[in-house]
Structures are given as structure tokens and as C-alpha cells.
Amino acid sequence: MIRRLAVVSGSVLVLAASSSAAVADPGPGNGLGGHCGSGARTLSHFGDHVYPDMGNGGYTSLHTDVHVVYDAPSNQFLPGNHVDLTDRATQCLNDFSLDFERTSVDPVDGPDMSVQSVTVNGRPASFRFVQPTYPGDPNGQDDPDPRAHQASQVTPVGGPDNNPLPPACSPEVTGDDVNAQNGDPCPANKLVITPRSPVGKGDVFRVTVNYTGRPGVHTDGDGSTEGWFRSDDPPGDGGFVTTEPVGTEDWMPLNNHPTAKPTYDFYDTVNAGRTAIANGMLLSTRSNPPDSRFPGGSTSFHWHSPATIANYLVENSVGAYDLTSRPGSDGIRYYEAQGSSLSDAQKQANLAVMDQQQDITNFQSQFNGPFPFTSNGVLVGVPTAGFEEEMQTMITFEGGRIGLRTFNHENMHQWWGDNVTEGNFNLTFFKEGMATLGEYLFNARNAQTAAGGPGTAAGDAAFEQSLVNQFNTNYASTRLWTAAPSDPTPASLFSNSFTYTRPGTAYIALRQILGAANFTQALQRIQRDYGGSSITEQQLEAEFHRFLPNHSHACDVRLDQFFTQWFDTAYPPGGGANRPQLTGPGLAGPGFYDPNGRCV
């Protein structure tokens, strides 16, 4: 994701009091061997304060069939609209939960939906909406203490009542003060489903949720919004979907955590003349005659993603779009879509950039390894959303235009974030740093081209020098060091300094420490080992350790210190000594090895 600067508010960032994350206690009813209980209502850990309410345990999300029935002029899901979620129980389940925000603090652009019925394996199930509880609450997920269900940017909640407990959810910020809602009650967005009979451990089961109403946007911890944006150009056009980090729950119920990665099929039925655009490949379109829901007729689109998709990367935009696709010479199908209402001149300008996706993909494959998906694509929407996003195989650009540098950023995400997903919301820096590195590689490539091109001595030297210059410029900054990338608040999660630039700079240093060839091998190894799944910070760092050219104990210790300094340390202001003191060979700063290439 890249936020457009114009919409970043002037909010004062307040840094979190750091807490050591313990392994989650999933609460009563879990871990009882063969006994049945409730699935955990979060995938977060005790003390987490970045979207701690998100995700649901007790089962693994395998596949989702999205059956959207959408009337674009009224912006409404119609009867028949539903999702089918196929899950596998990891424990015996009396009940389990999903994330679904039916209404929000935003009465205009927020959602206004209702659930009609839920079935499990085709049999009616009862359902209710409850507030989240802070992860690991020893009093259980229905703790009678209202303080166990409060929002905050930080842990503990604090707030007007000095609540000493961790937060159960992140605030939905509507004003300038991001801490104003610390201590407010969390909304009841956990959809708890109780099947007629328990689901046995290991059983694969299918959950159907029938719902209608108006999809909308989620209001985030930093006051921005994401989700299903109304597209009203031309009036009644449809919806533009871009959802990081949690806005998918504002248009469909799901297991809304980046580590829950089912595969997807999308079966969208929309007004005749509209186009539905989702992830993966478009397998079929079918025209339907007029009926009571669509007096003017309708069209059904079937998109299929054989690859798993994390919560915030699910795409499903509907509107008047010019959609084309072409097979690339690399065997990947490339989709291009842009709003039909854009001017011809704007469309041509956009296409000049959009047409470069195969070239970008080929360039980035030199570092990341083979492109992980069977298709790739880009969608330029008309509405203003405030950010561009790496929707899987269908990158979204807002506001009717696309830029090449940001295109490189978002395409880099297809490997980093999309194929290999962060293991929790606080690890957003891992993949934003890699996407920022994608921008630095784009700049280096331009320098290489200007100096004679790849394979020439001058060109290759210019490539390397560009990265070194980028590092040195960033390292001289005083703005990057006062917050730890791995410990953001919801309000600072998309901070340019801490979530993007600092880890992106660290990856340049890491490339110098490992050597360019070893760094490339490490990236490709991570893709092979964690592709289709997610990775923790510890797992990420262990992979880079494998490719240290010097395997002495001292070098391993030093690399651990490097990661601690760059990813996990908040320094006092001022820069200088108050910044990482391990850099890399050929870079500004103290370096990493001694003159003999050792770590003693």
C-alpha cells in the first residue's frame, strides 16, 4: 500500500508502551483435548494492540465462494447475496466466529448490512453478534467486565478510566485526536455461529452466511478509511474495493486476519452493463434475462483464484470498467481495467504505464524468483480512496490515474505481502519495507539504463551506486529512528518513516552484508518456504541468517543485533548515536565486518 500524502491527517502519533507478547491463551473451551468448546475469537496474542480483535481460531480457512448479488445504482446487496466458507476444524467446536462489520461510526460511507440466516453444512445455525474480548483474557471470551471489551491505540487501554487491561480492538478514529476513543466500548463485530451439533476436530465444514444491504468502508485507527468505496462517476456506477488493513469485513463476513488465507471463487451477478473485477482469472461471463431483482437484466462473472489470498487483498470491484486481458510472453495472463468514464487522454496516459506490468514483473523476478501467480493485473478506479493497494493479482489505483514508481512498489508486493504474508498486523513493516526496496530497485534500474544499461560495467556500477546513495541519504535522516517498525500503533501503522523507509533502508544494508547474490538467494528461498502462507519476524530473520557468508557465531550474533537495531528499537530523538549502529560494507555508518571480513 502507498498512502497519498494529501489524505494523511495531521494526527499526533503517540507511541505505544512496549509490551512483551506472550503466547495467546485462547480462553476457556480450548485446548481441552477431545472436549468441545468455543473457537478463539481472535488470532492475536495477549498484549497485541494493532487490530487485536481480528481473526478467529478453532478452524483453518480453506476456501471461500463469494456470491455477490449487487445492484449498482442503489449500492445494495440484494437477496441471494451470500458467502460460502469452507473451513477445517482444528478442535471440536460448539461455536466459532467470523468478523463482520454491519454498521460503523460512518453513517454515510460506512456499511449498513444485515444477516438473514446462517447455515453450517446446509443446516440452519443460530448466530449472534458480540464484542471482542482482549486476547488471552483468563475470564473467557464473554468476560462480564466491560473493561475487557474496550478499544485503545496502546496496551494497556488507559483512557479516562485508567483501564489496566489490554485493548480488545483498535479505535475507529473520527477526529484529530487518535487517542480520543481509548476506553470506548468495541463494536459487536464478532459474528458467533452455533451449529445444531458440534463440529468434530479435523472435520471440513461449510458455513453459509446470507446477508443484504449496503457495503461500505471501515474507519481506521489513523482516521483513514478502506473497504467498499462508492463509485458515483457516472452516478450509480458501483463500488471500488481496496481494503487494507481490515476493510473486507465491511462488505463480507470472513476470517479477517492476514494469516487466514483461503483460496477463492467469485460469482458476482450485477446489473447488465457493469463489470465485476476480482482476483485471479476471469473464467466466464453470462448474460441473464431481466428478473425481479434486475429489471434491466444482469451479468454473472466468475473469477477464480487457485492461490490463497490474505484478508486485505481480496478484490471485488463493480462498475463501468474497460477490461482487457492478454497472455504475456512469460505465460502469465495480464489484466488491465480502468474506469470507463475517464477521458480518452487519461486512459491513454494510464495505459502507457499499465502496459509495463510484464516488464516490471520480469525485472522484479530477477530478485524475487518466479512470479507466484498465474495472472497479474491492475485496476484504475475513479473514486478517491486515499491510497493505492497491492490487491492480489489486481493492483488498485485510485483517483483515475497510475504512476510508474508506485506501480513498481505494488507489483513488488505480489511476492511480499501477497504470496508471503506478514504473520500479524504489527509486521506490516516486513512487506512495506520490501515494496519500498522495489522502489529503490526501480530507481537503480533507471540509473543503470542512463549509464549504459544492464551488463555494461558503467550501468551495473550505477545500479549499485544508486542503492548506496539511497541508503546514505536515508541513514542521514533524523526522522526514521524514534519508533520501532515492529511496534506500531494502529495510528502509526502506515507511517512512511517507520513502516516503509526504515525497513526498506535496512534491506539495502542487508544486501551489502550478505552480498548481492546471497541476498537474492535468500529472497527466493523465503518465497519457496513461505509462499502461499505467512511468516513471522523470527522466521524471516532465520532465513536471512542462512545466507550470511561468514557463519561464525560472532557474525550470527551481530546479525541478530542488526535486526534488533533496525526493526525493534525506538531510539531517542536526534539521530547520530541514536540510530542503528550496524550498517553494511560500503555504506555510511560503522559497517558490519572488520577490515578482514570478520565479526570479532
Binding site for Zn ion (CB under 5 A): 1, 432, 435
Minimal distance in Å, beta carbon 222 to Zn ion? 15
234 preceded by a cis bond (ω within 30 of 0): yes
Give the Cα separation of 375 and 387 in Å (integer).
Answer: 23
Bridge partners of 185?
150
Cβ proximity to Zn ion: between 407 and 563 the closer is 407
Contacts of 236 (CB under 8 A, 6+ apart): 72, 73, 74, 75
Between 1 and 276, CB nearer to Zn ion? 1
C-beta of 326 vs 405, nearer to Zn ion: 405
- Least Cα distance to 11 among 161, 169, 181 occurs for 181
When the beta carbons of 301 and 500 are compared against Zn ion, the nearer one is: 500
CB of 389 to Zn ion, least distance (A): 7
Q: What single DSSP character describes residue 163?
A: B
- Give me the helix-helix angle, 357-368 and 428-450, nearest 10°: 110
Please say which residue, 321 or 498, places its beta carbon nearer to Zn ion: 498
Name the residue nearer to Zn ion (CB basis): 396 or 527. 396
Q: Locate 197 and state its grid cell.
A: 451439533
Q: How far is the CB of 292 from Zn ion (least distance, A)?
A: 43
Cβ nearer to Zn ion, comparing 395 with 435: 435
To the nearest whole angstrom, how small is the minimum distance from the Cβ of residue 410 to Zn ion?
Answer: 7
Task: Check if the beta carbon of residue 584 is closer than 8 Å to that of residue 510.
Answer: yes
- C-alpha 300, offset from chain centre: 28
Residues 309, 263 contacting (CB under 8 angstroms): yes
Nearest to 282 by CA among 413, 411, 394, 370: 394
How far apart, in whole angstroms, are the C-alpha atoms of residue 144 and residue 157? 17
With contact defined as beta carbons under 8 Å apart, do 398 and 242 qualify? yes
Cell of 409: 512498489
Using CA atoms, how far apart are residues 434 and 528, in angstroms rounded to an integer?
16
Q: How far is the CB of 435 from Zn ion (least distance, A)?
A: 4
Q: How far is the CB of 416 from Zn ion (least distance, A)?
A: 9
Output the smallest distance, CB 564 to Zn ion, in A: 24
- Size (the chain), residues: 600
What H or E segment, with its residue span, contains residue 553?
Answer: helix 553-567
**Least distance in angstroms from the C-beta of 135 to Zn ion:** 26
Closer by beta carbon to Zn ion, 435 or else 509: 435
Cβ 405 to Zn ion, closest distance in Å?
12
Closest contact distance (angstroms) between CB of 51 and Zn ion is 17
Residue with cell 578482514: 596
Residue 164 or 403: the one with the smaller Cβ distance to Zn ion is 403
Within 10 Å of residue 244's Cβ, how many Cβ atoms? 25
Q: How far is the CB of 496 from Zn ion (least distance, A)?
A: 11
Residue 66, strand partner residues: 83, 266
Q: Which is nearer to Zn ion, 435 or 483 (CB)?
A: 435
Instruction: Read off the C-alpha cell for 8.
Output: 494523511
Strand order in the sheet with 333-339: 321-327, 333-339, 375-380, 395-397
Rounded to a whole number of angstroms, the CA Rg of the chain reads 24
For Zn ion, the closer of residues 336 and 390 by Cβ is: 390
Residue 411 CB, nearest distance to Zn ion (Å)? 10
DSSP structure class, residue 305: E
Q: Which is nearer to Zn ion, 83 or 434 (CB)?
A: 434
Q: Answer yes or no: are the C-beta atoms of 512 and 566 closer than 8 Å.
A: no
Measured CA to CA, the distance from residue 596 to residue 600 in angstroms comes to 10
d(CA 415, CA 568): 23
